[in-house]
Chain A
């Protein structure tokens, strides 16, 4: 093979792929740990795990998908690729955040009414559903 010029990244050991893979596993486990094992507030958990998700998406694009790669001597195609993906990401974020915003803001009052505690028909057997920790009855038993 006649490629003494420019130690091309596609020859030799695929370090870039291995590093990308290890980082993706680490980010996944770390996000899981943040979400399920820490006592951070819900807001912080969401900020951190979504930060990790975008980081990992960037990792895939750069390490595996070669998004910055340009096919010809001009940089035009790679700029079109990157611009297109960034624009699509922008559209995606607007769609998701915009929808959630619009749909929750309008229903906020309705939800409040709906989730108001029901006073009637209060029975006293603790259903082990696990969801209702709002009942402040169970403070007696320390084990």
Chain B
């Protein structure tokens, strides 16, 4: 324990400081808690999904086109986020910032289409108070959207730090942690795609 640490030159920068390693490990544990949070929202939604009262059925208003646009934007943003970390590990600050900027753009695009979709649902007479099913829908999908919104601000601020201070063990750990967060949002969306949209459309059409 007391020995000075020697690093393989291939050790990524974000793992070179004790605090960086601990923060990354801690963030994985936080993601475990996030999984539990979203699980409760999914459970609520799935229990209430047929409780539509006098409002429209969920699957009735879902549209494949809007769903696919949102899904592709988020999947692609997860990919470009991965490329950003890849560039970071090659010590290419410009590549990191460029790919992260693309990621943010795709995230904003996702939010734009999600908000459009929400407005469309509300226009069609399905808002958060219409029925238990729609309450479950807006709380679950809205919580995910709020996470994306938060992620956009967070990544932006970390990028400002990288631009100002360069790549250090501290800033690279922050970038790495935001990348974990962003990929996690994509994982949650995969389950929203499946459990909310696909299931809703299948049970409605079939």
CB < 8 Å neighbour of B194 from A2, A52, A60, A89? A52
**B2 contacts partner chain A, Cβ-Cβ < 8 Å:** no
The binding surface of chain B is classed by DSSP as helix
A100 B21 Cβ-Cβ under 8 A = no
Task: Work out how many contacts link A and B, with CB atoms closer than 8 A.
Answer: 156
**Do residues B42 and A91 form an inter-chain contact, with CB atoms below 8 A?**
no
Does B187 contact A20, Cβ atoms closer than 8 Å? no
Give the residue among A20, A96, A129 with the most B Cβ atoms within 10 A: A96
Is the CB–CB distance between B86 and A53 below 8 Å?
A: no
CB pair B47 A100 closer than 8 Å? yes
Chain B 48-87: CB-based contact to A (< 8 A → 1; otherwise 0): 0000000001001000100010011001101101110010
Q: Which residues does chain A contribute within 8 Å of B76, judged by CB atoms?
A: 21
Any A CB within 8 A of the CB of B139 = no
Counting chain A CB atoms within 10 Å of each CB, the highest count among B9, B24, B43, B71 belongs to B43
Are A31's CB and B198's CB within 8 A?
A: yes
Picked from B10, B28, B36, B43, the residue with its CB within 8 Å of the CB of A3 is B10
Chief secondary structure at chain A's binding surface: helix
CB-defined contacts of B72 to chain A, threshold 8 Å? 25, 28
Residues of A within 8 A of B144 (CB): none
Chain A 9-41: CB-based contact to B (< 8 A → 1; otherwise 0):
011001001101100110010011001100000
Closest to A11 in B: B90
User: Range of interface residues on chain B?
Assistant: 35 or more
* Range, interface on chain A: 35 or more
The verdict on A6 contacting chain B, using a C-beta distance below 8 Å, is yes
Q: Are A85 and B193 within 8 A (Cβ)?
A: no
Q: How far is the CA of A14 from the CA of B32 in the complex (A)?
A: 27
Q: Which of the 9-residue segments A42-50, A116-124, A134-142 touches chain B?
A: A42-50
State the CA gap A21–B198 with chains docked (Å). Answer: 21
Q: Are A87 and B32 in contact (CB under 8 A)?
A: yes
* Contacting residue for A71 out of B24, B40, B75, B195, CB 8 A: B24
The answer, among A28, A50, A63, A103, for a CB contact under 8 Å with B82, is A63
Given contacts A11-B89, A25-B72, A42-B203, 16 further A-B contacts (CB under 8 A): A3-B9, A14-B83, A21-B75, A21-B78, A21-B82, A28-B75, A36-B64, A46-B202, A56-B190, A65-B183, A67-B28, A81-B25, A88-B32, A95-B36, A96-B39, A99-B46
